Amino acid sequence: MTEKQGLLPSAVSAPAPRSRASSPYWATLSKVAVAALLLKVFGGAYLALDSPGYGGQEPLKARCDQAEPLSPSFSRDHLDKMAGYIDSPEFLKAAVANMAGAVQIPTESYDDMGPVGEDPRWEVLFEFAEYLKKTFPLVHSKLNLETVNTHGLVYTWKGSDSSLKPTVFMAHQDVVPVAKATIGQWTYPPFSGHYDGKYLWGRGSNDCKNNLIGILESVELLLQADYEPKRTLVLSFGFDEEISGFHGAQPLAAFLLERYGKDGAAVIVDEGAGIAEAWGTNFAIPGVAEKGYIDVEIILRMPGGHSSIPPQHNGIGVMAELITQIEANPYESRLYKENPFLGLLQCGAEYSEEFPKKLRKLLPSHAANTCARKEDKLALEAAKLGDAFKYLFTTSQAPDIISGGVKSNALPERTVVLVNHRVNVGEQTSVVKDKLTKIAHGIAKKYKLDVHAFTNSTGETPSSITLRDTGRALEPAPVTPTELFSTEGSDNATLSPYGVIAGTTRALYGKSMVVAPGIMTGNTDTKYYWDLSRHIFRWGPQFDPEEESGSGLPEGIHTVNERLNVRAHINGVKWYSSFIRNMDESRLP
């Protein structure tokens, strides 16, 4: 990249710092907390953004480079009419009807679902597939539709240039179940798809049937406008993301990997982070990283007996002490250089007047030269912003399930707890295993117990503590490249996939929008797609500029009163259709 930097000064712009009367911190990031990274440094010889030198520091140069707004250059009457139609009352009415119909089909997925074809709860997906066929007739007549493991849907819109790698859009058909006890708490019934003039209410309206329907809307509209893609477009829709994607996303990813090969896709866009306000500035934060994951089962075996003659500590008491030790020793907050959150801090310092002064002073002037000690100080200070921030750069631990004992007058002989961990970017699941093993040995020594820590043997022994990985461990995801420009497959630098995403977003929402790559604390279906592309983005492009900015989280996700801002949804349709065309016009391979 260095030798090409001076060639491209016109392709980058710096949004002016802006201030708003708002909280200096995000309101909340809770379950799908997202934060972000700015663009990587390109070097002062290429670009030096005009920014003040805070706290006596030298100015942060080229820290938050922003792509110029990117709109498709090729146009004709049909495409111009399409753009006008998307803003019309007629399309609003159609979009509401299409979303409502999708929400009204309760495609709930449950943790105890049996195999596809055996468990009847999967069969509602046949109804959903038929609904899509009826609602988007051109998609189903012009694109090639294939099914994987019965309910996985792969649509292929073949491009005219077979040498170009495809664009892949992802979404999932399933939704989180609605607990019967909560139905009365909903403003409108959870599967009604009720539209109140601004919001469309119902389970799945924001996670993530809005993405799925929005993608299909954009393709249907492009087909109506007689658009012919240059680059193949693939739509890959799983059906069990809410229960980890074993039946849907995993075989879908294998199917596409066999067809296109390793790194065979130019870009993958799935559900994920959106647009949020931080420090008085709106940030678009497509997720470029995900934390790792590991569940550890701890089994404590101790002698039983009659509870009328109990020992000083029985199995439940000892397990309680072990859990207390786990919670008393949380993981250290640590900002590794590859963690995208470091970039958000730099980006906030660049463009947000309300950015905390102490954080600004702790930021390194050159991220590439940051020492571990300074990063730790920065992480400790950033952690004070609250848990929604802290867990973007801290491994989390949570004892979630516990059981022990079988009878009120019998001492427990076997007590089990499951501890969930989300592993910090820059660390590995082995860090979790080492820590738990150390704690287990301390408790075992006190109570004269044996320890079996992560051995291949599944057997337990009396008077012991056994630690087991449940088999679902996942290392932190590879971090998607976030340079604006790429020389991949070309002698000359061109906008990278990240650059196309950023430029498309700023064309839609304006130059005041700061784009900064984000990090996901949870895991999406993309965890199975790592080999298909280096350029994976977890991104929700839906945004209503007239809505008061918040955390960037979907409304009511995974809880009561899930709802969708329909204007934001329509903007999402605009984004998908523009991105398809921008990728066609890019010089990426």
The CATH number of residue 324's host domain is 3.30.70.360
Which positions are catalytic?
Answer: 174, 241
Please state, as a whole number, how many other Cβ atoms lie within 10 Å of the Cβ of residue 546.
8
* Domain annotation covers residue 500: yes
In 59-204 the beta strands, taken as DSSP E runs, fall at 66-67, 144-148, 152-157, 167-172, 199-201
Instruction: Tell me: cis bond preceding 64? Omega within 30 of 0 counts.
Output: no
Residue 63: per-residue pLDDT: 63
Q: Which residues are annotated as a binding site?
A: 172, 207, 242, 270, 558
* Domain annotation covers residue 173: yes
How many Cα atoms sit within 13 Å of 383 on the Cβ side? 18
Q: Do residues 498 and 460 share a domain?
A: no
- Which token pair is 284? 């678009």
Q: Do residues 323 and 449 share a domain?
A: yes
Domains held by the chain: number: 2
Write out pLDDT tens, residues 432-443. Answer: 999 999 999 999
* Domain annotation covers residue 279: yes
Write out pLDDT tens, residues 255-267. Answer: 999 999 999 999 9
* Domain annotation covers residue 243: yes
Burial 32-58 (b: 16+ CB within 10 A, else e): bbbbbbbbbbbeeebbebebeebeeee
Q: Do residues 131 and 172 share a domain?
A: yes
- Residue 213 and residue 292: Cα distance in Å, rounded? 29
Q: Do residues 317 and 234 share a domain?
A: no
pLDDT at 12 over 70: no
Residue 343: per-residue pLDDT: 80
pLDDT at 530 over 50: yes
pLDDT at 524 over 80: yes
pLDDT at 149 over 60: yes
Q: Do residues 181 and 244 share a domain?
A: yes
Q: Do residues 264 and 305 share a domain?
A: no
Write out pLDDT tens, residues 167-217. Answer: 999 999 999 999 999 999 999 999 999 999 999 999 999 999 999 999 999
Write out pLDDT tens, residues 408-425. Answer: 999 999 999 999 999 999
Least confident of 17-31, 82-96, 491-505: 17-31
Q: Do residues 498 and 447 share a domain?
A: no
Q: Do residues 100 and 247 share a domain?
A: yes
* Domain annotation covers residue 207: yes
pLDDT at 97 over 80: yes
Whether the CB-CB separation of 207 and 554 falls below 8 Å is answered with yes
pLDDT at 487 over 90: no
Residue 549: per-residue pLDDT: 53
Higher pLDDT, 6 or 299: 299
* Domain annotation covers residue 44: no
* Domain annotation covers residue 42: no
Residue 390: per-residue pLDDT: 93
3-state secondary structure of 589: coil
Q: Which CATH number does the domain housing residue 196 bear?
A: 3.40.630.10
Residue 490: per-residue pLDDT: 59
From residue 470, alpha-carbon distances to 28, 169, 232, 438 in Å are 31, 31, 39, 19
pLDDT at 387 over 50: yes
pLDDT at 272 over 50: yes
Residue 50: per-residue pLDDT: 29
* Domain annotation covers residue 72: no
Residue 389: per-residue pLDDT: 87
Q: Do residues 318 and 450 share a domain?
A: yes
Q: Do residues 231 and 298 share a domain?
A: no
pLDDT at 446 over 90: yes
What percent of the chain is predicted at pLDDT more than 90?
Answer: 75
- Output the CA angle 301-302-305, nearest 5 degrees: 130
Write out pLDDT tens, residues 347-363. Answer: 888 889 899 999 988 88
Q: Do residues 274 and 192 share a domain?
A: yes
Best-predicted range by mean pLDDT among 153-157, 279-283, 334-338?
A: 153-157
Average pLDDT over the chain, rounded to an integer: 87
Range of the domain at 160: 77-289+490-509+518-585
For residues 152-160, average pLDDT: 98
Residue 30: per-residue pLDDT: 33
Residue 76: per-residue pLDDT: 82
From residue 317, alpha-carbon distances to 324, 401, 546 in Å are 11, 16, 55
Q: Do residues 437 and 548 share a domain?
A: no
Q: Which residues are annotated as a binding site for Zn(2+)?
A: 172, 207, 242, 270, 558
